[in-house]
Structure 1
Amino acid sequence: MSTLFTPLELGDITIHNRMGMSACGRNRADVSTTPSEIMKEYYMQRALGGCGLIVSEATLISRQGVRDRTVCPRQPGIWNQEQIAGWKKIVDAVHTTGTKMYCQLWHVGRTSHPDAPEQITAGEPVYGPSAIAARGGEFRFLPGNPGYVTPTAIEDPTTLIALYKQAAINAKEAGFDGVEVHGANGYLIDQFLDFNSNKRTEKWGGSAENRARFGLETLKELIKVFGANVSVKLGPAGGINDVGMPLKDALETFTYFISEADKLGLSYIVLCRYVAYRDPIVDGKSRATPFDVISTFRPIIKSTKYFANVNYTPAEAAGLVAAGTVDGVFFGKLWLAHPDLAKRVRFCKPLDNIPDPKRYYDPDPLFPELGYIDYPPWANYEGDEEE
């Protein structure tokens, strides 16, 4: 496992190991979408547990958008001063451990609902690249558990790019080391990339080059704020939230996007691999596009660090890093259930905490710590530090 515990330069910072914590939504923000004290404890536990780079849970760049599936829609935002102050407390605490932290910037696009409280407060419609509803959805916090609705086509996409840029400015004020753009899982940037959700006929739609424009222009604006400390997360094989193209089209679209993003001087690109349990079935058919993401896209990532993501074991990760196939690996559920994951791996301790899926997105209103900050670290590392 030693290859996982070598330093890595990302942009103008250095992380102390290759075991990143991927963005994992936990819905523990305050009712005002402001980062809470319990969130600070959560992130500090994992920083103290040896994480090299923490990526915040998906963080909304505006009031427009709150996703489905949860019964407690308390996703954090980063569009106002109260939220900036809340994140700053968390980031400052994490930095005391030597761990670095990126903010994942998120706009859900057409996967919001007009009756969601924050959407109503925003006074804006649900936006998407085109007026095409995603199939599925289940807004369990709304009466009747409604599904997705037909969005309003975005008139001028540059207004949304400006929201990403302002969110990056806010993230910098909060002290984050960089930003990661959420370009996967059928959210806004993924919606522009996918020709099923993007039927525009001007420069923002049509060809792969045009469908990639929104995401690439967003990255360029963020670089103006954070320099090289900008990254993007992509899901080329994914079908979550009713995206997913035939193999030929997926390869053409993501080959273009990744090769162009690689030229921008980003700190890293993270690609989610295909796994069957994340392959949604819509109207009886799979929406994902199974193929080997690493072997397909690794050759075209030439100047940017490459992180792998989704359901990797530490042993797999160590092998990939040792072979030079990837520069690092992000872990999700393993970090959720093991606040000291990196220390356990380094000192060969068992990964024996069992994650509680019931509490991934739905905190107990009276006991939000359950399934969040109550996972125990390994009982005793005495003597291990000196070995």
Structure 2
Amino acid sequence: MQSTTSSPAIAPLFEPIQLGSLTLRNRVFMAALTRNRSVPTNVPNDVNLEYYQQRAKSAGLIITEGVLITRQGTEWPHAPGIWSQEQIAGWKKITDAVHKEGSVIFAQLWHVGRVAHPDAPEQKATGQPVYAPSAVAAQGGKFRFIDGEPGYVKPTAIEDPLVLVDLFEQAAINAKEAGFDGVEVHGANGYLVHQFLDSTSNKRTDSWGGSVANRSRFGLLVLQRLIKVFGKDRVGIKLNPAGGYNDVGMPLEETTETFSYFITEADKLGIAYIDLVRYVEMFDPTKRGTPHDVVATYGSLIKNARFFPNGGFSGEEAAALVKAGKASGVFFGFPWVTHPDVAKRLQFGKPLDNQVDFATLYGKYYAPEEEQKKGYTDYPEAQY
């Protein structure tokens, strides 16, 4: 008879956990992973359904790829949205399938802010400019699906940020209709919420910028609006204090002051969890990040929410954190791209040995749905 786990060292990851009123069967969670397979029009399709259903067989908690709250604010082609009834219906098929497999699924709500491009097809279709906290362009970028592969451009400073806050709230309403168990705010990786927090991208002199409290206002208000829709125990947030990705990053003292304040205030709201991403060098291509020990610096500030760290953990390291009481569960990201059975592999001591095909990581931008399976739903499970 096969043992329940491969070793006692891994066992802490396979103890059930309560997330508010939700029971998660294990503590091996799937982080949000942009995959660009919602062809052709940002509507979740049958290939997306298969992808999530495969991973729901072992994950304790699934966070969707970034779900766009509006067509305006899109960096990636064929990333799924949640602003239309057609999209809601597509997601409902996925949430039903995930629940049938015994897992729990949150929608990660996403607006890319200044790292959209005005010539991107979806952005052009809105007839609106690229909005951000301030008219400050991110450095770098390469839009391979636009002729000439242009980089980032100077955005338009949003006059009234409440317009964007309203979009997050409506997206949460739509996510609830689509059957999601909860929602996660994408507050990481240099996207909109992160842009408000970071003083290098937020140069406002009104009540939305300047002081740490003012720069934190946007993200905290988004959380409050989502709580109004889902309840506090069904809302989480992902943060990346070390920065780097998409040209954000402050000096260390300002970084720790900003994120210590924001995390403390978010925790006071009683939300379900806070996901903190460790510094990962490969996600800091422009060397704008501020490397520091994210878990040690901010973990103790989380008193009410669950603390779920993220960023290159091995199974053994994750289990040790849980056993020591320094985390309640751990998000794994990239392993879920190439392994539909990450949690089961960890449980039974199987290696994470499928190699990623980078040529198919984000799909073929203009290929039909059937061709999008390659490098998406065709990675094999282990033999048990």
TM interval, short-chain normalised: over 0.9
**In the alignment, is residue 51 of structure 1 matched against residue 59 of structure 2?**
yes
Partner residue in 2 for 1:179: 183
Q: 1:84 aligns with which of 85, 88, 96?
A: 88
Q: 2:73 aligns with which of 65, 68, 93?
A: 65
SS across alignment from 2:242: coil
**In the alignment, is residue 190 of structure 1 matched against residue 194 of structure 2?**
yes
TM-score (norm 2): 0.95
CA contact (8 A) 1:25 1:360 kept: no
**In the alignment, is residue 247 of structure 1 matched against residue 252 of structure 2?**
yes
Partner residue in 1 for 2:22: 13
C-alpha separation between the residues in 2 aligned to 1:313 and 1:172? 33
In the TM superposition, residue 357 of structure 1 has moved relative to its aligned partner by 2.3
SS across alignment from 1:302: coil
In the TM superposition, residue 11 of structure 1 has moved relative to its aligned partner by 2.2
Matches within 5 A, 1:218-233: 218-227=222-231, 228-233=233-238
- The residue type equivalent to 1:267 in the other structure is A
C-alpha separation between the residues in 2 aligned to 1:160 and 1:65? 10
- The residue type equivalent to 1:56 in the other structure is T
- The residue type equivalent to 1:242 in the other structure is D
Q: Which blocks of at least 5 consecutive residues in structure 2 are unaligned?
A: 1-9
Partner residue in 1 for 2:162: 158
SS across alignment from 1:57: strand
SS across alignment from 1:307: strand
RMSD (CA atoms): 1.0
Partner residue in 2 for 1:40: 49
CA contact (8 A) 1:137 1:148 kept: yes
SS across alignment from 1:271: strand
Q: 2:243 aligns with which of 238, 247, 255?
A: 238
Partner residue in 2 for 1:385: none
**In the alignment, is residue 26 of structure 1 matched against residue 35 of structure 2?**
yes
Partner residue in 2 for 1:297: 298
C-alpha separation between the residues in 1 aligned to 2:281 and 2:80? 29
In the TM superposition, residue 66 of structure 1 has moved relative to its aligned partner by 2.1
Matches within 5 A, 1:205-216: 205-216=209-220
Partner residue in 2 for 1:4: 13
How many residues matched?
Answer: 371
In the TM superposition, residue 92 of structure 1 has moved relative to its aligned partner by 0.3
Partner residue in 1 for 2:5: none
- The residue type equivalent to 2:188 in the other structure is A
C-alpha separation between the residues in 1 aligned to 2:21 and 2:122? 36
**In the alignment, is residue 99 of structure 1 matched against residue 103 of structure 2?**
yes
SS across alignment from 1:83: helix
CA contact (8 A) 1:333 1:355 kept: no
In the TM superposition, residue 9 of structure 1 has moved relative to its aligned partner by 1.2
- The residue type equivalent to 2:318 in the other structure is A
Deviations 1:225-247 (A, max 9, x none): 01020000000002111110000
SS across alignment from 1:180: strand
CA contact (8 A) 1:91 1:174 kept: yes
Partner residue in 2 for 1:121: 125
- The residue type equivalent to 2:250 in the other structure is M
Partner residue in 1 for 2:4: none
CA contact (8 A) 1:185 1:235 kept: yes
Q: 1:257 aligns with which of 259, 262, 286?
A: 262
Deviations 1:79-121 (A, max 9, x none): 0000000000001011001100000000000000111111111
- The residue type equivalent to 2:364 in the other structure is P
Deviations 1:328-351 (A, max 9, x none): 111111111111111111111222
C-alpha separation between the residues in 2 aligned to 1:245 and 1:278? 16
C-alpha separation between the residues in 2 aligned to 1:9 and 1:43? 22
CA contact (8 A) 1:363 1:370 kept: no
Deviations 1:34-84 (A, max 9, x none): 001000000001112x1000000001000012226xxxx110000000000
C-alpha separation between the residues in 2 aligned to 1:275 and 1:97? 32
- The residue type equivalent to 1:261 in the other structure is A
SS across alignment from 1:368: helix
SS across alignment from 1:56: strand
CA contact (8 A) 1:25 1:75 kept: yes
Of residues 204-213 and 344-353 in structure 1, the stretch that sits farther from structure 2 once superposed is 344-353
**In the alignment, is residue 280 of structure 1 matched against residue 289 of structure 2?**
no
SS across alignment from 1:59: strand
SS across alignment from 2:377: coil
In the TM superposition, residue 276 of structure 1 has moved relative to its aligned partner by 1.7
C-alpha separation between the residues in 1 aligned to 2:13 and 2:154? 45
Task: Give runs of ≥4 in structure 1 deviating > 6 Å.
Answer: none
C-alpha separation between the residues in 2 aligned to 1:140 and 1:377? 32
In the TM superposition, residue 12 of structure 1 has moved relative to its aligned partner by 2.0
